[in-house]
Amino acid sequence: MIELRTPAELDGLRTAGRFVADVLDALVDATDVGVDLLDLDALAGRMIAERGAESCYVDYHPSFGAMPFGRYLCTSVNDAALHGLPHAQRLVDGDLVSLDFAASVDGWVADSAVTVQVGTPRAEDQRLVATVRRALDAGIAAARPGNRLGDVSSAIGSVARDAGYPVNLQFGGHGVGRSMHGDPHVPNDGRAGRGMVLRPGLVMAIEPWLMAGTDELYQDQDGWTLRSSDGSRAAHVEHTVAVTEDGPEVLTLRSAERAALLA
Ligand code: MG
């Protein structure tokens, strides 16, 4: 069921979005050579506790997960694309890590992800990250009243395909509200002009993710982490976006993105 949010409900979602953005800002700042994935997870957990927020991940146990997730944060390193379960692993120079975080504040959820190049960036990773960011921007730009869901999907998929990257359609964006995953499903490719009409009050997570050489995943022995079938590296970015009368409003802008808007 598609739920449209009232202005008061959108305020609740904005508050959650700002908290999620602040946590990702802190995590990006902390991500560096030698830092352990469990330290990043603990930082997210501390910020949740200090804010009196609730984790969306700790008890999360969908059909595709082997057991409850048990951590606060997804950390997907190099060939890990999605749902990376943090474990004791120190980041090394050249790693490519995506941080995916969702939390509930006063009953409203926001969900966002960022990909960080650790230490010395690799040129091929930079191209992948730049492409997935452009795909996110294109998807957000299409999230306007009167457009259709397929316009968002098509905008994302076009950027990926034009850059030569295959697109996996198993996992994509989703409605966000009182819980982390709701309708609609937002595939990362599709046909423009198809699907439901977007109306003000619709809130969804838009989340392109790409693997450099394949669209196929396999599940790690940890029961959660999804890795590229060919070992190629992956990048994932996500924002929670509200469709408003004036166009898309990104609820999870991080500080650098807010500053860029004001510049
Ligand atoms: Mg997410």
Ligand 1 centroid–CA 200 distance in Å is: 22
Tokens 């908290």 correspond to 19
By the 8 A CB rule, do 167 and 189 touch? yes
Question: Is this prediction's pTM over 0.95?
Answer: yes
Q: What is the mean pLDDT of residues 176-205?
A: 97
* 7-262 CATH pick, 3.40.50.261, 3.40.50.2300, 3.90.230.10, 3.30.450.40: 3.90.230.10
Q: What is the mean pLDDT of residues 93-99?
A: 98
Ligand 1 centroid–CA 233 distance in Å is: 18
Q: How far is Cα 37 from Cα 97, in angstroms, rounded to an integer?
A: 10
State residue 208's pLDDT score: 98
Residue-wise pLDDT for 122-164, tens only, equals 999 999 999 999 999 999 999 999 999 999 999 999 999 999 9
Q: Within 13 Å of residue 220, how many CA atoms lie on the same side as its CB?
A: 18
State residue 68's pLDDT score: 92
Q: Within 13 Å of residue 4, how many CA atoms lie on the same side as its CB?
A: 9
Ligand 1 centroid–CA 131 distance in Å is: 18
In the predicted structure, residue 195 carries a pLDDT above the cut 90: yes
The share of the chain scoring above pLDDT 90, in percent, equals 95
Residue-wise pLDDT for 57-82, tens only, equals 999 888 877 889 999 999 999 999 99
Domain spans, the chain: 7-262
Structure tokens at 243: 């469709």
Read off the pLDDT band of 14 (50, 70, 90): very high
In the predicted structure, residue 263 carries a pLDDT above the cut 90: no
Q: How far is Cα 34 from Cα 223, in angstroms, rounded to an integer?
A: 25
